[in-house]
Structure 1
């Protein structure tokens, strides 16, 4: 167990943001990932650095969202751990996902949000949230 350090307010070197989130996908899953994350969720694929291309996978961005999908030869979907993406119109997003064949799962109520869960084509859990009010 890690011992508590100095108060973050008094320290430097503290966390300031999430630079990117990485999810694992199975080998050869890039095209399915592009369909889900690019077409259905609306993220833009960006080029991976040349020195990382041989690893496979693909990267996406949209505004401050940076999502890296990496190949894991021993892939197991993340069914509990998950990213939660804020959306501006949850109803429109879920309609687009349903039209794409994605099943929508309702989340437990959370004050100030409407939310749901979906699974990417590989079984990774994704939470979609819209602020209320």
Structure 2
């Protein structure tokens, strides 16, 4: 039985680790976590924020996916979007998911990332009573 997603693996081109570190730590505010030595020899880097882990693995012939992406829950989505923009990342808002505020951005190698925050479209107290 599945109980949780342990991590999401994204691909990256060889030699991109420094750019990825700058983006995932400085822009997104994640922390780099150590890879086991046997895996570190392969290149790439891993990041975490609370229970969320993103692993970036080196892939020869890398091409970023245009549709596939992780969906990352955030709190304070407006402030988080400003954080990304202030650090040079493009933010593209998308209002097509009912009950959510969301935007997309790309890491420095072109991986698409979705950031979303659910909201209650009818705040408590504004619903009609019978």
User: Which residues of structure 1 form unaligned runs of 5+?
Assistant: 1-13
Moved over 4 A (4+): none
Match in the other structure for 1:75: 62
Structure 2's unaligned 5+ residue stretches are: 121-130
* Matches of 1:61 and 1:17, distance apart in 2: 15
CA shift, 1:64, in A, is: 1.2
Q: 1:52 aligns with which of 39, 43, 48?
A: 39
Q: Counterparts in 2 of 1:37-48, with a 5 A limit? A: 37-48=24-35
Structure 2 CA distance for aligned equivalents of residues 22 and 55 of structure 1 = 14
Q: Distance in 2 between matches of 1:24 and 1:106?
A: 24
Calculate the aligned-residue CA RMSD, in Å.
1.0
> How many corresponding residue pairs?
120
TM-score, normalised by the number of residues in structure 1: 0.86
Give yes or no for contact 2:27–2:83 (8 Å, CA) kept in 1: yes
Residue pair 2:95, 2:101 contacting (<8 A) in 1 also: no
